[in-house]
A and B are shown apart, each in its own frame.
Chain A
Amino acid sequence: MANGSQTGQIGLRGWVYAGRFGLERYAYTLHRITGLGLLLYFLMHICVTSSRALGQAAWESVMGFLSHPIFRIGEFLVYVAFAYHALNGVRLILGELGLGLGNPVRPEYPYPIAHRRQRPLFLALMIISGILILAGGWDFFVTKH
């Protein structure tokens, strides 16, 4: 395995250090962290929700255990992670398909950065994500407190 200084890779430090890559690099880091959190939750969620096949007593026993406030807060964090990961994922898929990045242009200084063209979309999606998080927070903590 080649070391990082030879390949230009900076390993885990690249997750938290954006350098000149700016806002989208932090979006990438958050996408990765929320993805790992969602995956961890999802693997447990499959096991927990499978208890519904065992009948009402098993289901209500599990739900009773999970009604503790600490699990409610954890569930809200999962909801927040979903709201961010899903909407940032929309931006990433559009970018993957080449949408919203503009047409290729001759590389003349000062070089245009494709990410900047997509930044309004990024900000709009983050506003929607914020609205969903506020709506979820109202549902989690105001109407069901």
Chain B
Amino acid sequence: MREATLWTLHLAAGVVILVFLSIHMGIMHLEDVLTALGTGYRDALGWASVVMRNKQLYFTITYVILLAAALYHGLYGLRNILLELGPGPTAVRVIQGILILLGASLFVLGTIAAIAAYVR
């Protein structure tokens, strides 16, 4: 794939992350602030709350979208940082191979966990 396309995908993934991770961070880490404003709910990490989110298709789908976007954005960013250090062609192929394998493995793990939690 052309580098310009990969870079554009990196930016697009950043926008997706901005939206969904902001919601995630709000639910997880601003629950008392949001509750004080009358919009939040408490104990986001409690099992009942986790199950409630797991059983909603919206959360499952957005989780998988966020997972894909964040893995791509993060690992592509890391790849660019490593390539800036000027490795040779073989090292570039090794770096890219490892990062693709890592990203694909974690995407499969996270997706299986999300689906298993949804159907459980």
A113 within 8 A of partner (CB): no
In contact, B33 and A135 (Cβ under 8 angstroms): yes
In contact, A93 and B47 (Cβ under 8 angstroms): no
For B102, what are the chain A residues with a Cβ–Cβ distance below 8 Å?
A: 43
In contact, A32 and B81 (Cβ under 8 angstroms): yes
B85 within 8 A of partner (CB): yes
In contact, A42 and B74 (Cβ under 8 angstroms): yes
Which A40-97 residues have C-beta < 8 A from chain B?
42-43, 46-47, 49-50, 52-53, 55-56, 59-60, 63, 75, 79, 82, 86, 89-90, 93, 96
Count of interface residues, chain A, beta-carbon cutoff 8 Å: 37
In contact, A39 and B18 (Cβ under 8 angstroms): no
Docked CA distance A39–B106 (Å): 12
Which A-chain residue is minimally distant from B87 (CB atoms)?
Answer: A1
Of B18, B29, B45, B77, the residue contacting A136 (CB under 8 A) is: B29
Which B-chain residue is minimally distant from A39 (CB atoms)?
Answer: B74
B36 nearest CB across to chain A (Å): 9
In contact, A46 and B67 (Cβ under 8 angstroms): yes
Interface membership of chain B positions 5-22, coded 1 if the CB is closer than 8 angstroms to chain A and 0 otherwise: 000000100110110011
Docked CA distance A140–B32 (Å): 9
For A82, what are the chain B residues with a Cβ–Cβ distance below 8 Å?
A: 21, 25
Docked CA distance A29–B78 (Å): 14
Docked CA distance A59–B46 (Å): 9
Can you name 8 A-B residue pairings with CB atoms under 8 Å? A1-B88, A39-B75, A42-B71, A46-B110, A47-B106, A50-B110, A53-B120, A89-B14
